[in-house]
Structure 1
């Protein structure tokens, strides 16, 4: 496809300009701001609907004020028309017109701004946006492909995942099977992977190696610890003698514990404690009976008070509801009163109207016949009578409604008065109950039951029993102290013998633990070596795949190289995609602007061959490149910053790849 002519009218800062390359390559010179980028944006807007940087452009088409907002221009047309020669030799003109939409709404004296519209034309015939884009897709190419092939910078500024996806589409991927078949050493790798991908496999092996290494580092320390414990416990001890002594001491301890239990739980002490407990039960029953008798009146009064408080809450809720209803009724009455006044005023206005019709014919200028005048007067009087009747009927209906509301309001006010009276009475009743409760509680004394004869007798009996219990316990104290001392010595003897037996058992445990640790050390070492072998195979695979895929993709380009993988410290590789020069300068970090353009042209060349499509290519900042390389048969436009105050078109000097 070739660009024959590009016409701009009121597009951005350009009022009228025609760029007519007639299918040839051109260089466009001018200072910054004179319109070089505007030409590119106009071309892209016509074909793909966005700017040359793939941004929405609608807000930038019109001129802007000093605040950066688009100015209103009363609906002038902002038009771009591109005449193209398609690959079959047919010429077509694609046009877009962007303009303000002004709408005159009913009742408004002037038209108002109502957004923008875009008109799409093919050979000056208006089409829908859908049909317009479909034509471009069918006769030229897809929108995305046009973006990539029309700009030397578009591809490298796409997300790296999209770049990589397109490269694999253009150049073909390398399968894991291809990599494995390329190296005899990798024949056993598929069975080791067990369905996992290589990166996951490397991650699992690395994690397992780290864990094994940690375990292996700890084993020597554990062996030393157990050997030290074995050395410390390795002393001559007669196990049989110790077990006989331990059995004898435990038998003596059991005898002493039985004697202590007999003293502590003796019959006399237990009998006295049971008697005291029985007296406590009887005293508590007397207290409960006394409280129940004296508090009955208070409980009844509190019950009555609770019922009154519940009733009071209900009355208050009803009062709030009625007050809200009254407020609503008052608002309605105010509204109806205003409506009645409006009807009265409308009636007065209608009543004052008199016939003011003209008795002269507006067409011929002669006096109208009397029957025509009478007919007009009769029609006026009938309309006036109907309007007066309508005002009267509306006012009457509103008056009836207002009267109904007044009745309802009066009923509401009567109910409110009753509720207020009920609430006052309830508050008074509750206050009276509070006074009665306080009076009753004053008559109840906390120690009233202490005057009861039965209570006093039980209390004296309890005091005597406690004195007797203290005497019995004192007699047992000396015996308890002696037995307790003997029991503590027996516990000490038992602990010494038990500790010696534990040391004897530890000797065997330490030996077995050392043996187990050495066996585990050997097993873990073998597993670690096996993992090293598997990891080495995985890394060989990774290296081979990186080299094979990189070589395959780079072979499709003349000067561009792609970095497709990033090596991590842990041996894993991450997918990436970034264009590089043959010297290793990367597009996003170290390339100069000139190198970026050259690399972009090389990429466009390969993409154009893949899609079998040649389209005009725009090269911005072409002054950065000492020698422009031409790609295939694509038409090329070099945008060059120069001292010219206006756009200057020249024939370029190009060198093909």
Structure 2
């Protein structure tokens, strides 16, 4: 899949009566505040995702003159090349007496319903959520802050990650599936999850030590055979689980480092 955006054209969109910007493999857009840099990003995401760069609905994009909205149509058009095919995507919003209506066009004259337009984008490019996340790093970072599990699920879908296939190729990560599904850490950040597992491991060690001390104490008592047997069984169970607790803690450390590296790449 290769998608190139070649040109963005606007009419009566925010501050622009008419504006066209040619884009290249590497394009730098600069200017003073309120000159329209963010407007180009909004228009791009408006067409491809139906949302603005900040995630809100595009309800206040009509250009104004002297504080009054103009009557002319709002046009935002993107010229793209998708897998070698030139495709133009356009949205036109007309102002009505009580509300506005938006029409969707493909390659200039082919009018589509909103559903068909979005289906075309999903099939040819990606879902609106994926496009937004790949076009604007803050979208994913905001998702990560709200829910680590949702962010992980979105990345899994984008990368077409298969847990079973990964584990079969990387046996050392066989506990990954169990850890990710653990409800106690599911919605925690890597840092919080590592902290929680360390606390759990510390508690288990303390519990095992207390059991051992109790066994030693009871062994000195003549009638402590039943209690000793019960505590020895409990201690054996605790010790059998120590490798799992340690491995879970070790795996979360690796996950924390990987997520930190991903954050750095996203910011860059």
**Secondary structure in 2 matching 1:579:** helix
Larger radius of gyration, structure 1 or 2?
1
What is the CA–CA distance in structure 2 between the aligned matches of 1:42 and 1:92, rounded to whole Å?
17
Query: Cα gap change, 1:180/1:540 in structure 2, threshold over 3 Å: closer, same or farther?
Result: farther
CA contact (8 A) 2:10 2:16 kept: yes
Aligned with residue 539 of structure 1, among 231, 236, 245: 245
Cα displacement (A) at 1:168: 4.1
Query: Cα gap change, 1:525/1:209 in structure 2, threshold over 3 Å: closer, same or farther?
Result: farther
Cα displacement (A) at 1:62: 2.7
Aligned with residue 3 of structure 1, among 5, 23, 28: 5
Equivalent residue, structure 2, for 1:100? 95
What is the CA–CA distance in structure 2 between the aligned matches of 1:515 and 1:132, rounded to whole Å?
82
Cα displacement (A) at 1:46: 1.0
Cα displacement (A) at 1:174: 6.0
**Secondary structure in 2 matching 1:76:** coil
Equivalent residue, structure 2, for 1:19? 21
**Secondary structure in 1 matching 2:46:** helix
CA contact (8 A) 2:62 2:70 kept: no
Equivalent residue, structure 1, for 2:178? none
> For each residue in 1:36-94, what CA deviation from the matched residue of structure 2 results, as whole angstroms up to 9, or x when unmatched?
11100001101111112322222x3135799xxxx653632121111112213x32221
Pair 1:154 & 2:142 matched: no
> For each residue in 1:430-480, what CA deviation from the matched residue of structure 2 results, as whole angstroms up to 9, or x when unmatched?
xxxxxxxxxxxxxxxxxxxxxxxxxxxxxxxxxxxxxxxxxxxxxxxxxxx
> For each residue in 1:554-573, what CA deviation from the matched residue of structure 2 results, as whole angstroms up to 9, or x when unmatched?
xxxxxxxx528xxxxxxxxx
Equivalent residue, structure 1, for 2:267? 597
Aligned with residue 563 of structure 1, among 250, 253, 256: 256
**Secondary structure in 2 matching 1:141:** coil
CA contact (8 A) 1:82 1:93 kept: yes
**Secondary structure in 1 matching 2:117:** helix
CA contact (8 A) 1:180 1:541 kept: no
What is the CA–CA distance in structure 2 between the aligned matches of 1:122 and 1:180, rounded to whole Å?
45
What is the CA–CA distance in structure 2 between the aligned matches of 1:162 and 1:528, rounded to whole Å?
38
CA contact (8 A) 1:212 1:528 kept: no
Please report the TM-score for the alignment, with normalisation by the length of structure 2.
0.69
Pair 1:140 & 2:141 matched: no
CA contact (8 A) 2:17 2:63 kept: no
Equivalent residue, structure 2, for 1:46? 47
> For each residue in 1:379-420, what CA deviation from the matched residue of structure 2 results, as whole angstroms up to 9, or x when unmatched?
xxxxxxxxxxxxxxxxxxxxxxxxxxxxxxxxxxxxxxxxxx
CA-based RMSD of the aligned residues comes to 4.3
Pair 1:123 & 2:107 matched: yes
Cα displacement (A) at 1:178: 5.5
Aligned with residue 80 of structure 2, among 75, 78, 84: 84
**Secondary structure in 2 matching 1:92:** strand
Query: Cα gap change, 1:198/1:119 in structure 2, threshold over 3 Å: closer, same or farther?
Result: closer
**Secondary structure in 2 matching 1:61:** coil
Show the 5 A alignment for 1:206-605: 210=207, 213=210, 515-516=222-223, 518-543=224-249, 545-546=251-252, 550=254, 563=256, 579-581=259-261, 587=263, 596-598=266-268
- Specify every segment of 5 or more residues in structure 2 that has no aligned partner in the other structure, as ranges: 176-180, 185-196
Number of aligned positions between the proteins: 239
CA contact (8 A) 2:77 2:90 kept: yes
Query: Cα gap change, 1:208/1:31 in structure 2, threshold over 3 Å: closer, same or farther?
Result: closer
What is the CA–CA distance in structure 1 between the aligned matches of 2:232 and 2:79, rounded to whole Å?
75
Please report the TM-score for the alignment, with normalisation by the length of structure 1.
0.31
CA contact (8 A) 2:208 2:235 kept: no
Query: Cα gap change, 1:180/1:77 in structure 2, threshold over 3 Å: closer, same or farther?
Result: closer
Query: Cα gap change, 1:199/1:115 in structure 2, threshold over 3 Å: closer, same or farther?
Result: closer
Cα displacement (A) at 1:177: 7.8
- Greater fraction of residues in helix: 1
Cα displacement (A) at 1:129: 1.0
Cα displacement (A) at 1:18: 0.9
CA contact (8 A) 2:105 2:112 kept: yes
Query: Cα gap change, 1:130/1:157 in structure 2, threshold over 3 Å: closer, same or farther?
Result: same
- Specify every segment of 5 or more residues in structure 1 that has no aligned partner in the other structure, as ranges: 103-113, 187-196, 224-513, 551-561, 565-577, 599-657
What is the CA–CA distance in structure 2 between the aligned matches of 1:131 and 1:180, rounded to whole Å?
41
**Secondary structure in 2 matching 1:30:** coil
**Secondary structure in 2 matching 1:18:** strand
Equivalent residue, structure 2, for 1:266? none
Query: Cα gap change, 1:124/1:156 in structure 2, threshold over 3 Å: closer, same or farther?
Result: same
**Secondary structure in 2 matching 1:164:** helix
**Secondary structure in 1 matching 2:71:** coil
